[in-house]
Structure formats: structure tokens, C-alpha cells
């Protein structure tokens, strides 16, 4: 099977622009093609992540974006996996290339997000745990994130000051990122003064909803060797989109009413741990090999969980790792050098691809002021609804 390389990357800046999602996708796609030094006629396959809140065109995003780019006759696919949609589209394109059915593929994710927080989609789905949390518990996403934060406080003694330190770090990283929506350095005092949304999380602890887009040009290794300039392509070493494994499909919180709280056994986290494990296994790499990581910081507290999920430290060690400076630029393994969702917000089908764009720039040495020194291996990971998640590992 052919090795697969990323030859070009491009983005439309994140924000609240209020335009059709396909417009953002076209900008990102053209930027990725220009970065690769290719033209639309070179593309042999287009894979897109779907955006479910943008009507029928969003359900068939591959065709919508192909039409917006002015193409006809190109094979397309459309994938939906919530926050992992972009990575699933990447996986489809990679499979096409590895099967020898294409040498060049374009992968696009683009979204126009609603104001406020994401709500449930229409329809009854009582078998869907996320439908149940919205309709039975009334647990919106901020409430969901807050429950994770409370779990961390009960199990490991985390504090709001720990969560605030994540925001300060990521806001500093995002300052120099031209694609970031929020380019402001937050202080701990500013965070403490922002309103509580879902205790213990404050407004600036929670990521926003955003418009934006990201795109990648994937090629076979042979094609990249013949066309790339100055060896700028990076290798897709692994893609993991595993589901939870029975019986560890739900949280098993300690009984807070009878437990002593701090020091209580943590619940199983087989899903997020297994996403990363499968990627490490495919890439024949370990956490100690990472130069940097992009993780899905839906809230500041969740970033701390990710440190443990991807093996940077043992369960309960995330706070110490954060305060040691290991996960900031200049540290051992910078996490979210892009600024993360704290600086971008969510544009659901685009976000996994945006993470990969950042890792590509890092591995090329093209990230400017946020460059990770001697970056060689990067990991991107996220968790979406109903068991969807993805982990992608890139190597230089």
C-alpha cells in the first residue's frame, strides 16, 4: 500500500461571518491547492465532512463543495462523525490513495455555526445518549463539560485555578495565529471575573461556536516525491476512528454522596484512551515520541483529561504537568500550539482538519512565532457525539 503524504494545507479564518459554509470551504480548498502547487484539474477525489445544521447541502457536503469549486465528473464522498467528521473524510481519501485508485485527493471541512451553544438536532433518537442528555436531563454541552470538570475535581483535586491556567496558556499560543478567532491574552483575574455558565466552568472556560473551514491535499508518496518543493510534505502515519469497547461505553462515576471525593478511583475512560492507543499502534510510536499535540479543548478542564488520555502523564498527573510548563511552547510537549478551541471555537466538520493543518505547519517549521522547536511527530485527537472520535498522527 502506498504511503500517504500531506502536500498542501489551507484554512479560512475562524469567526462569525454568517455566510454559506461552502464559501468558507472554497477559500480553504484553494489555499490548500496553492500550498501544494497544484490546480483543481490535478485532483482525482474529493472527500468532505458533513455539516448537519446547514440543511440538505450540508448533508451532501462533498457534492456541494465540488459544485462550489466548479468541478464536474470528480468522485466525491461525504462523511459525518460529529467532531471527527474531518478525520473520517481524511481516512476515506487516504484509503482511496492506498488502494491505488487516486494519486491526489482533496479533503475539506467547513461549517456555519449557530449563535450560542450547539443544541440537539431534530428527531427522536432515544437510543442516542447525547439525545437523552439533551431531552431527558436538559444537559446542554456546557453542562456536559461541567460534569467532566466536576469529576476531575472529585477524583484528582483539580481546582478552577488549574482550569484557568489552561486558558491562559492557550490564549497565549493563539495570539500569533492569523486563523484564530480570539487573539487576546487572558489573565487568571479576567477568567475569575467572567460569569459562571455551568459550575465550575466560566464563560471563557468553554469554547464558542464558530464559522470556519480547513482543507488538505493528500497524495501518494511517489506523487509527492515528484511534485513537492523542498521536501515540505508530511506523512500521515496513523488514523484512528475507533468506537468505545463494550462494556466500557459509559462513565462510572464514584458515588460522590458516600465517597471521600479526592483520591476516589477514577472512572474508566476506555473510549478516549483507545482512540489514541490504536493510532500509536498503527504508527509504531509512543507518547514519548511526540513533539506536540492538538487536543479537543471543548473546555479548559477537558484539556487536562486529554493529557492523560494520550499518555503524557498518569491519571491525576495532568495538573502537575501543566504547571511544570511541559505543555506550553518551549516545554517538552506543547499542547494546542495553535491556541486550540479556546482561540478558535468549534466549526464541527472543519476542526479535526484544522488540527492537522497546524501539525503540518509545525512539522514543516512554518508556524512562525508559535513554532515548536525541532517538531518531528504530531498528534491530533478529538471526541464527538455517540462514540465518534478520531486520532491522527503525522511525522516529518
pLDDT confidence bin for 271, thresholds 50/70/90: low
For the chain, give every domain's residue range: 4-115+211-232, 129-207+239-395
pLDDT confidence bin for 269, thresholds 50/70/90: low
Q: Give pLDDT, residue 261.
A: 45
| Nearest alpha-carbon partner for 205 in 300, 318, 304 | 300
- For residue 333 the three cell numbers come to 510537549
pLDDT tens digits along 43-62? 999 999 999 889 999 999 99
pLDDT tens digits along 212-222? 999 999 999 99
Residue 8: CA count within 13 A, CB half-sphere: 28
Q: Which DSSP string corresponds to 234-253? A: EEEEEEE-PPP-TT--S---
Q: Which CATH architecture has domain 4-115+211-232?
A: 3-Layer(aba) Sandwich (3.40)
Which of helix, strand or coil describes residue 293?
Answer: strand
pLDDT confidence bin for 247, thresholds 50/70/90: low
Topology adopted by domain 129-207+239-395: Peroxisomal Thiolase; Chain A, domain 1 (3.40.47)
Residue 396: CA count within 13 A, CB half-sphere: 18
Average pLDDT over residues 144-150: 92
Q: Give pLDDT, residue 252.
A: 44
What is the DSSP code (8-state) at residue 209? B
129-207+239-395 has the same fold as 4-115+211-232: yes
Residue 95 CA, distance from chain mean position: 20
What is the DSSP code (8-state) at residue 125? -
Amino acid at each position: 500500500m502506498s504511503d500517504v503524504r500531506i502536500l498542501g494545507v489551507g484554512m479560512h479564518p475562524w469567526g462569525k461571518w454568517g455566510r454559506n459554509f461552502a464559501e468558507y470551504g472554497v477559500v480553504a480548498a484553494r489555499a490548500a491547492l496553492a500550498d501544494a502547487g497544484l490546480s483543481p484539474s490535478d485532483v482525482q477525489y474529493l472527500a468532505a465532512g458533513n455539516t448537519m445544521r446547514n440543511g440538505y447541502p450540508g448533508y451532501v457536503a462533498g457534492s456541494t463543495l465540488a459544485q462550489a469549486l466548479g468541478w464536474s465528473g470528480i468522485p466525491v464522498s461525504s462523511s459525518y462523525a460529529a467532531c471527527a467528521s474531518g478525520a473520517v473524510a481524511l481516512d476515506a481519501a487516504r484509503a482511496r490513495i492506498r488502494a491505488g485508485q487516486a494519486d491526489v485527493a482533496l479533503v475539506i471541512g467547513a461549517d456555519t455555526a449557530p449563535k450560542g451553544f450547539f443544541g440537539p438536532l431534530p428527531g427522536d433518537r432515544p437510543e442516542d445518549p447525547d439525545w437523552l442528555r439533551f431531552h431527558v436531563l436538559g444537559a446542554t454541552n456546557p453542562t456536559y463539560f461541567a460534569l467532566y470538570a466536576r469529576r476531575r475535581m472529585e477524583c484528582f483535586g483539580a481546582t478552577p485555578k488549574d482550569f484557568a491556567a489552561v486558558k491562559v496558556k492557550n490564549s497565549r499560543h493563539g495570539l500569533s495565529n492569523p486563523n484564530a478567532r480570539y487573539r487576546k491574552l487572558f489573565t487568571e483575574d479576567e477568567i475569575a471575573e467572567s460569569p459562571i455558565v455551568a459550575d465550575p466552568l466560566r464563560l471563557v472556560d468553554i469554547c464558542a461556536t464558530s464559522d470556519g473551514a480547513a482543507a488538505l491535499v493528500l497524495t501518494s508518496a511517489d506523487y509527492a516525491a515528484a511534485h513537492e518543493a523542498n521536501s515540505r510534505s508530511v506523512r500521515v502515519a496513523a488514523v484512528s476512528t475507533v468506537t468505545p469497547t463494550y462494556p466500557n461505553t459509559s462513565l462510572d462515576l464514584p458515588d460522590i454522596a458516600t465517597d471521600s471525593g479526592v483520591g476516589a478511583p477514577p472512572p474508566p475512560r476506555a473510549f478516549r484512551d483507545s482512540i489514541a492507543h490504536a493510532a500509536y499502534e498503527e504508527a509504531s510510536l509512543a507518547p514519548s515520541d511526540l513533539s506536540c499535540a492538538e487536543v479537543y479543548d471543548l473546555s479548559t478542564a477537558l484539556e487536562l483529561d486529554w493529557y492523560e488520555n494520550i499518555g503524557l502523564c498518569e491519571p491525576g498527573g495532568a495538573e502537575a504537568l501543566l504547571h511544570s510548563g511541559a505543555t506550553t511552547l518551549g516545554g517538552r510537549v506543547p499542547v494546542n500550539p495553535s491556541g486550540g478551541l479556546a482561540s478558535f471555537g468549534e466549526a464541527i466538520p472543519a476542526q479535526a482538519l484544522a488540527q492537522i493543518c497546524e501539525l503540518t505547519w509545525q512539522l514543516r517549521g512554518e508556524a512562525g512565532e508559535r513554532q515548536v522547536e525541532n517538531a518531528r511527530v504530531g498528534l491530533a485527537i478529538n471526541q464527538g457525539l455517540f462514540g465518534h472520535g478520531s486520532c491522527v498522527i503525522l511525522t516529518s
